[in-house]
């Protein structure tokens, strides 16, 4: 989901003001930008880039559907085409934003008490943040795999008994180890719907684990960060 694509000429005029920037770690920040007339469903993404650049990058929307601004969670990637430029921008500046797109959304036809298991690695938590604050009635458990506890981005957003931080390099998480290890040891219901967002290796591994646990592929939904 984080492939970088050339910016179309028409997109260069779609400038949105940067309203605020929240730095979460040395390399990761939340950029709050002008929403204008954009409407989206939680789980969709937007292509964002610097105002004078030739590239944009896809970012899952971090904010709630009902918010009057738009937020994205950005991790600076060394030698990246977009994220280092975004990090240099300041409040009051502008970014290019495309229309929200994507199908990584909650099926409205499912029962209201449907069980959901959200599984994220790193900044792949972004669409789940949007899910939870857009739809607080969701019956969910969120597994978040990171290296160190400082990467538990705004974890106080989630109910403590619904959020499982899995840390692989320190012991600050609820579980010390990879999110895949936690899932192997703590299987969930076969009837739950599983949403996976993060790096492709994690997603492939989780797919295999869930299939071994008897979960139908119809109940598995994925958004890949490359």
| Structure confidence by residue, pLDDT tens digits, 186-223 | 999 999 999 999 999 999 999 999 999 999 999 999 99
Examine the pLDDT at 13 and tell me if it is beyond 70. no
**For 100-116, how does the pLDDT look when each residue is reduced to its tens digit (9 = 90+)?**
999 999 999 999 999 99
What whole-number distance in Å separates Cα of residue 124 and Cα of residue 196?
8
**Quick one: fold of 115-225?**
Rossmann fold (3.40.50)
Fold identical between 4-97 and 115-225? Answer: no
> Can you tell me the distance from the alpha carbon of 189 to that of 187, in angstroms, rounded to the nearest whole number?
7
β-bridge mates for residue 176, sequence order: 167
Give the whole-angstrom CA distance, residue 131 versus residue 106: 8
Q: How confident is the model at residue 226 (pLDDT cuts 50, 70, 90)?
A: low
Q: What is the DSSP string of 35-68?
A: -TT----TT-EEEEE-TT-SEEEEEEB-S-TT-S
The residues, ordered by sequence, that sit 6+ positions from 6 with a Cβ below 8 Å of its Cβ are: 54, 55, 56
pLDDT at res. 59: 97
Enter the pTM of the model.
Answer: 0.92
CA–CA distance, 149 with 155 (Å, rounded to integer): 10
Percent of the chain topping pLDDT 90: 91
Instruction: Provide the residue ranges of all domains of the chain, joining segments of one domain with +.
Output: 4-97, 115-225
pLDDT of 70 higher than 70 = yes
**CATH architecture, domain defined by 4-97:** Beta Barrel (2.40)
pLDDT in tens, 17-32: 999 999 999 999 999 9
Residue 4 has what pLDDT?
39
């Amino acid at each position: 989901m984080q492939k970088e694509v050339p910016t179309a000429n028409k997109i260069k005029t779609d400038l949105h003001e940067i309203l605020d920037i929240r730095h979460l770690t040395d390399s990761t920040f939340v950029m709050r930008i002008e929403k204008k007339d954009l409407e989206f469903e939680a789980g969709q993404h937007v292509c964002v880039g610097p105002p004078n650049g030739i590239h944009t990058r896809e970012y899952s929307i971090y904010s709630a559907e009902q918010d009057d601004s738009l937020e994205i969670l950005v991790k600076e990637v060394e030698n990246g085409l977009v994220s280092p430029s975004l990090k240099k921008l300041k409040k009051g500046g502008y970014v290019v934003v495309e229309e929200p797109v994507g199908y990584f959304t909650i099926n409205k036809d499912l029962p209201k008490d449907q069980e959901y298991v959200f599984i994220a690695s790193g900044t792949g938590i972004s669409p789940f943040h949007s899910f939870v604050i857009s739809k607080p009635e969701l019956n969910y458990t969120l597994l978040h795999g990171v290296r160190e506890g400082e990467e538990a981005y705004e974890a106080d957003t989630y109910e403590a008994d619904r959020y499982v931080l899995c840390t692989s390099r320190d012991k600050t998480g609820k579980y010390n180890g990879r999110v895949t290890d936690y899932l192997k040891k703590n299987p969930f219901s076969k009837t739950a719907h599983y949403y996976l967002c993060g790096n492709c290796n994690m997603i492939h591994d989780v797919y295999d684990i869930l299939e071994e646990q008897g979960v139908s592929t119809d109940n598995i939904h994925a958004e890949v960060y490359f």
